[in-house]
Structure 1
Amino acid sequence: MPSYEDDLSRFEEHNTQVLGISVDSVPSHEAWEKSVGGITYPLLSDFYPHGAVSEMYGVLRAEGMSERALFIIDKDGIIRFIDVHPIGEQPENEELFEVLRSLHSFA
């Protein structure tokens, strides 16, 4: 998710808050953040109750891990974009910016 960090100012131009969330513990998040040289957006832990948020969004796997997924949620709490993809892949940020631009055209 360092690519989000690289484009954080572009996300902010769209009045967007980037969040990272996983079923990992806070110490695990801190270790990962350190390993990638730092992250300035919030990392949230869905550790306890384990996977509750992931389950609510339909991305908790039976083995207790969450899928690699992206959600764009508008200010009214409506999910406008979902992308579930293999762990080693993610959509290009430009695809996300296209979705964000399309949301602004409805505002």
Structure 2
Amino acid sequence: MPSYEDDLSKFEEYDTQVLGISVDSIPSHEAWQKSIGGISYPLCSDFYPHGEVANKFGVLREDPNAPAYGATERALFIIDKQGVVRFIDVHPIGEQPDNEELFEILRKL
């Protein structure tokens, strides 16, 4: 997610609000931000009720036999100003689309 921080001004050029969300607690978010030197966009905690937002977006790992049960998939969503989901990318934890791919989607909106 630090790559979003690096390109935050470009996201703003597309009138886009970047935010992060996870099922981690607020203290976990604060510790993570501190460990990477901070970020300036919002982080939302989907901690309680646990994973309610992630579940609604279909990215909560609900199978108790699966690895990382109760965590979320690594995913990106682009949602337009009318609340319509325009782009979804679910990817392995160590990968993410290049920001240029996201900018291409934003150019089309």
- Give TM-score scaled by structure 2 length: 0.94
CA distance in 2: counterparts of 1:65 and 1:18, whole angstroms: 21
The residue correspondences of 1:62-81 to structure 2 (distance < 5 A) are: 62=62, 63-81=69-87
The aligned amino acid for 1:54 is A
Structure 2: stretches of 5+ with no match in the other structure: 63-68
Percent of aligned positions that are identical: 78
Between Structure 1 and Structure 2, which shows a larger proportion of helix residues? 1
RMSD over aligned CA atoms reads: 0.3
- Give TM-score scaled by structure 1 length: 0.96
Q: Secondary structure at the match of 1:60?
A: coil
Question: Which 4+ residue blocks in structure 1 deviate beyond 3 angstroms?
Answer: none
Matched with 2:41 is 41
CA distance in 2: counterparts of 1:82 and 1:46, whole angstroms: 19
Alignment length, in residue pairs? 103
Q: Secondary structure at the match of 1:95?
A: helix
Structure 1: stretches of 5+ with no match in the other structure: none
Matched with 1:57 is 57
